[in-house]
Every structure is written in structure tokens, then in C-alpha cells.
């Protein structure tokens, strides 16, 4: 789109935002005639201040309006760019599903197709293919919203709501990974409401987990701890009957997420209690499973022992736990979990001053799931720290990774 004149680019993004010329003009403080002339190229945009105002109203990076969008390099194909973020934002901003209360929805995908699409999206996320997922999410969100509206008064209302709740959770997770924390929180919050309509306590519990993760990423640590612990307590197994495996999985993940929040505020005692509870749940579960897409089990508890140690600033403990980990269970984990762990351990090694090993961990994660390293702002920070503290010229693989990620000393 960089070959288009700026007026055409303004018209394109206005159309993408579903704004009429009048609405756009009102938000910009201009007349409809002024907007029309700009879009037709009759009036020039020769003031940067006006271009920045337009970009702000359209919620796009100003570089997109100026036609200076950077082409993706092959090695960054799996990351999410500004255009994709804005498309996901636009899908989350849609409220036209409310029309189901007033008139019939004209079309929505069959629920059998939706189930397949949602399962594929979960697997795409757990294999850390964030770019591919970002490109699929806007349509998936619209389709799930449409299906939810179409079946709002049918016997399949709860099924459609369940699928939409899952899609919101997928969106929340991938947005948090790439640093879009406010949008991640919005998607997670949407999932809670939809999950309640679906009548599934475990899906609602997992939505609370996503809310806790988004709050933690936003620096709202105590609310994150509270939501994880409160919902975990409500889902805690009670009574003589053996709890369902799905219940143990969601319950355990809430405890693990709570432990991460407690670690962020330096509450080591709460971290130990929550990890102990999660460990007991994993033992009762009897192995590593992916119920409700949680990847919960003894191995994930071990990964969180390392991660919480890093958050507490105890890199040595994290590294020791990593070296003593059950390798069989670890290698059976899905790529996103393993690469995330390598990033955590890279941070642990920087805490004890071993930047060479930290670099090796980043490379291990990159070989396993490039998007988990190249697309995450946290990984950029760790790599920058490794480069800054490396004496002399960094090893060739690290230098190459830094160049591909656009990270300098």
C-alpha cells in the first residue's frame, strides 16, 4: 500500500475502522468536505501535526499513513506487526453481535467448522506460531462472534459461547506475548463474561487465569494474585470423590499463575505455598496433560519453580532446578512451554553473571520456537543485557540473532 498517495491511505484506514467521513471529520475536528478533499487528493496534507492527529483517530502508526511501513524480513515472518495488531483490535471493538437481539444474524459458520478452527488456533499458539495466529485471529474472532450471535436463542447457545470464550482467551494470550497488554486484558475480560454464558466453570476459571496474566503484565500484581487465588479456591477439589482431571488442571494453573504474581512482589512464603498446592494437584493428576489447553502436570510445576525463582531474583536456584529437571517430561512439552522456559533460564543466568550461558539459552529457545524469542519484548531485553555485558565481540550466533531481532548493545 506504500505506492498509494496519503489521501488514499487515509481513506483505506478510515474504511477499515468502519467510520463514515462525517464521523471521522467530527473526531478530527474538521469538516466532512475537508476529509473528502484530502482523500481525493485535492487537498494536501503538508503539516505533520495534522498527520499525527489523523493517525491517532485511526489508531494506526503514523508510518503507515506516510507509506513507510517496513517490509518483513524472512526471519521475522512469525512476529506480529502493527497492521495485524490493529486488525485484532478492530475485531475486538465490534459490537454488532448485539444485533442478534433485534434481528436474525444473516450468516455464521457451522459450529463443527468453528470447533476445528478453534482447536487449530490453540495448537498454533502452543507451537508458538504467533505471526500465523495473528493473521488468522481477526477472522476467527468475527466468525466466533457471529456464531455466538446466531445461536444466542438456540439449543446450541452454550456451545457457541464456549467457542467464543476460547477464541477470546487465545487472543488474550498471543497479545500478551507480544506486549499488547491492554488489549490482552480486554480479550480476557470478554472471555469471563462469555464463559459464564457457556455455563462452564472451568472455562471461566481459565479465563480468570488469562485476566491474572494480563494484570501481571500490566504491573497490577496484587489484583493478579487475588484473582488467581480466589478463583483457585473456588475450584479447589473438595469431598471424598476423585476430582476430574480437567478440574485439577485448571486449578493447578491458577495456583501457578498466583505463584508468579507472589514472586513479583517478593512474597517467597506465598510462592512456596502455591507451588506446593500445584505440585499436589499435579501428583493427583498423575502426569502431564493438556486438558483445557493448560499443559498442566508435574513438569509444568517444575518450570514454574524455575520461573518464580527468577522473579524472586534467585538465579542460582533457578539454574539448579533447571539442571535437575526431568528431561523426559521436559522434552515432551509443547514448543511454546519449552522455549518460554529457556527464556526464563536465560534471565536466571544473567542474574548470576553467566552471560555466555544466558546466550546459549536464548539460542536454544530460538531454535525450538523462534517466535517465542524474536517476538517477545522480554527476550529483546534479555538479549540486549547479554550483549551489553559480553566482553569483546559476542559469539557469531548471538551476533546474528541480535541482528535478526534488531537488538543493539
pLDDT for 145-187, tens place per residue? 989 988 888 899 999 999 999 999 999 999 999 889 999 999 9
214, part of any domain: yes
DSSP label at residue 74: G
pLDDT of residue 398: 96
pLDDT at 52 over 90: no
How many whole angstroms separate alpha carbon 95 and alpha carbon 93? Answer: 6
> What are the φ and ψ backbone dihedral angles of 256, each rounded to 5 degrees?
-65, -40
Flag whether 320 is in a domain. no
Is residue 76 within 8 A of residue 40, CB to CB? The reply is no
Cell representation of residue 266: 517478593
Q: What is the DSSP string of 39-53?
A: HHTSS----HHHHHH
- Choose between 286 and 408: higher pLDDT: 286
**What's the pLDDT score for residue 62?**
75
Does residue 331 carry a pLDDT above 50?
yes
Q: Are 207 and 255 in contact (CB under 8 A)?
A: no
Q: Residue 35 has what pLDDT?
A: 93
Give me the percent of the chain exceeding a pLDDT of 70. 92
The pLDDT, as a whole number, for residue 77 is 47
Number of domains, the chain = 2
In a domain, 272, yes or no: no
Residue 169 is placed in which grid cell?
482467551
Q: How confident is the model at residue 85 (pLDDT cuts 50, 70, 90)?
A: confident
Place of cell 488469562: 210
Q: How confident is the model at residue 66 (pLDDT cuts 50, 70, 90)?
A: confident
Whether residues 92 and 138 share a domain: the answer is: yes
Residue 285 pLDDT greater than 90, yes or no = yes
Quick check: helix, strand or coil at residue 226? helix
Return the DSSP state at 242.
Answer: P
126 conformational bin, left if phi > 0, alpha if psi -120 to 50, beta if neither: alpha
User: Residue 4's pLDDT is what?
Assistant: 67
Q: Which three cell numbers stand for residue 263?
A: 514472586
Task: Provide the pLDDT confidence category of residue 96 given band limits of 50, 70 and 90.
Answer: low
Whether residue 215 is found in the same domain as residue 87: yes
In angstroms, how far is CA 94 from the centroid of its own chain? 19
- Sign of the Cα pseudo-torsion (372, 376, 379, 380, in order): positive
Assess whether pLDDT exceeds 90 at residue 58. Answer: no
pLDDT at 231 over 70: yes
Question: What is the number of other CB atoms lying within 10 angstroms of the CB of residue 346?
Answer: 29
DSSP annotation of 324 reads T
Lowest mean pLDDT among 34-38, 49-53, 138-142, 200-204: 49-53
pLDDT band at 234 (very low <50, low <70, confident <90, very high): very high
Contacts made by residues 53-61, CB under 8 angstroms, sequence distance 24+: 53/28, 54/10, 54/28, 57/24, 57/27, 57/28, 58/10, 58/13, 58/14, 58/17, 58/19, 58/24, 59/17, 59/86, 59/89, 60/13, 60/86
My answer on whether 89 and 208 are in the same domain is yes
Mean pLDDT is highest, among 83-97, 143-157, 264-278, for 264-278
- Render 351-381 in DSSP notation, one character per residue: HTT-HHHHHHHHHHHHHH-HHHHHS-HHHHH
Model pLDDT, residue 152: 83
Q: Are residues 88 and 205 in the same domain?
A: yes
Domain contains 250: no
CB 69 within 8 A of CB 25: no
In a shared domain, residues 92 and 175: yes
pLDDT at 225 over 70: yes
User: Do both 103 and 215 map to the same domain?
Assistant: yes
| Cβ atoms within 10 Å of 89's Cβ, excluding its own | 18
> Cα separation of 250 and 227, whole Å?
14
Q: Which of 287, 293, 372, 369 is nearest to 332 (CA)?
A: 287
Does residue 203 belong to any structural domain of this protein?
yes
Looking at residue 104, its pLDDT comes to 56
- Structural domain includes residue 202: yes
59 shares its domain with 139: no
| Mean predicted confidence (pLDDT) in 93-109 | 61
Q: List the domain range (segments joined by +) for residue 26.
A: 6-65
Q: Is 209 left (phi over 0), alpha (psi -120 to 50) or beta?
A: alpha
Per residue in 305-328, pLDDT tens? 999 999 999 999 999 999 999 999
User: Average pLDDT over the chain, rounded to whole?
Assistant: 90
C-alpha cell at 326: 526431568
Please indicate, yes or no, whether residues 103 and 140 belong to a single structural domain of this protein.
yes
Q: Give the list of residues 6+ apart from residue 37 with CB closer than 8 angstroms, or none.
A: 43
Query: pLDDT tier at 73 (50, 70, 90 boundaries)?
Result: very low
Please report whether residue 208 resides in a domain.
Answer: yes
Dist. CA 345–CA 362, nearest whole Å:
9
Q: By the 8 A CB rule, do 405 and 380 touch?
A: yes
The mean pLDDT of 357-361, rounded to a whole number, is 98
Q: Which residue has the higher pLDDT, 96 or 334?
A: 334
Q: Residue 88 in contact with residue 138, Cβ under 8 Å?
A: yes
Which comes out higher in pLDDT, residue 323 or 4? 323
Q: Which of 81-95, 115-129, 185-199, 272-286 has the lowest mean pLDDT?
A: 81-95
Instruction: Report the pLDDT value the prediction gives residue 75, as an integer from 0 to 100.
Output: 41
- The most confident of the ranges 40-54, 68-82, 375-389 is 375-389
pLDDT band at residue 345 using 50, 70 and 90 as cut-offs = very high
The CATH number that applies at residue 29 is: 1.10.260.40
Who has greater pLDDT, 41 or 118?
A: 118
Distance CA 211, CA 173 (A): 10
**pLDDT recorded at residue 203:** 97
- When pLDDT is averaged across residues 212-235 and rounded to a whole number, the result is 97
CB atoms within 10 A of CB 392: 5
Percent of the chain topping pLDDT 90: 70
- 287: which 3 cell numbers? 502426569
Amino acid at each position: 500500500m506504500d505506492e498509494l498517495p496519503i489521501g488514499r491511505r487515509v481513506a483505506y484506514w478510515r474504511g477499515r475502522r468502519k467510520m463514515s467521513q462525517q464521523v471521522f471529520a467530527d473526531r478530527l475536528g474538521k469538516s466532512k468536505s475537508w476529509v473528502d478533499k484530502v482523500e481525493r487528493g485535492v487537498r494536501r496534507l503538508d503539516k505533520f501535526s495534522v498527520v499525527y492527529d489523523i493517525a491517532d483517530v485511526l489508531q494506526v502508526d503514523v508510518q503507515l499513513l506516510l507509506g513507510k511501513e517496513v517490509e518483513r524480513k524472512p526471519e521475522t515472518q512469525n512476529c506480529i506487526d502493527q497492521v495485524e495488531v490493529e486488525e485484532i483490535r478492530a475485531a475486538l471493538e465490534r459490537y454488532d453481535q448485539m444485533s442478534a437481539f433485534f434481528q436474525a444474524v444473516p450468516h455464521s459458520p457451522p459450529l463443527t467448522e468453528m470447533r476445528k478452527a478453534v482447536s487449530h488456533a490453540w495448537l498454533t499458539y502452543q507451537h508458538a506460531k504467533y505471526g500465523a495466529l495473528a493473521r488468522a485471529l481477526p477472522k476467527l474472532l468475527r466468525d466466533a462472534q457471529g456464531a455466538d450471535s446466531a445461536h444466542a436463542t438456540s439449543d446450541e447457545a452454550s456451545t457457541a459461547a464456549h467457542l467464543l470464550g476460547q477464541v477470546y482467551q487465545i487472543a488474550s494470550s498471543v497479545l500478551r506475548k507480544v506486549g499488547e497488554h491492554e488489549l490482552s486484558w480486554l480479550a480476557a475480560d470478554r472471555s469471563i463474561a462469555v464463559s459464564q454464558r457457556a455455563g462452564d466453570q472451568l472455562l471461566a476459571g481459565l479465563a480468570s487465569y488469562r485476566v491474572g496474566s494480563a494484570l501481571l503484565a500490566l504491573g497490577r500484581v496484587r489484583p493478579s494474585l487475588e484473582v488467581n487465588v480466589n478463583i483457585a479456591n473456588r475450584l479447589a477439589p473438595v469431598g471424598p470423590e476423585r476430582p476430574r482431571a480437567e478440574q485439577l488442571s485448571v486449578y493447578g494453573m491458577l495456583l501457578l499463575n498466583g505463584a508468579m504474581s507472589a514472586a513479583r512482589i517478593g512474597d517467597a512464603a506465598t510462592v512456596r505455598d502455591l507451588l506446593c498446592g500445584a505440585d499436589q494437584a499435579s501428583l493427583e493428576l498423575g502426569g502431564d496433560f493438556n486438558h483445557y489447553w493448560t499443559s498442566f502436570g508435574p513438569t509444568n510445576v517444575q518450570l514454574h519453580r524455575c520461573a518464580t525463582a527468577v522473579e524472586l531474583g534467585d538465579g542460582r536456584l533457578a539454574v539448579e532446578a533447571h539442571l535437575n529437571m526431568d528431561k523426559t517430561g521436559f522434552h515432551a512439552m509443547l514448543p511454546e512451554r519449552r522455549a518460554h522456559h529457556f527464556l526464563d533460564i536465560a534471565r536466571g543466568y544473567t542474574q548470576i553473571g553467566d552471560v555466555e550461558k544466558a546466550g546459549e539459552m536464548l539460542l536454544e529457545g530460538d531454535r525450538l520456537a523462534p517466535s517465542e524469542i524474536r517476538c517477545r519484548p522480554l527476550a529483546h531485553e534479555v538479549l540486549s543485557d547479554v550483549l551489553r555485558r559480553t566482553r569483546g565481540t559476542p559469539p557469531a550466533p548471538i551476533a546474528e540473532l541480535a541482528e535478526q531481532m534488531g537488538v543493539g548493545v
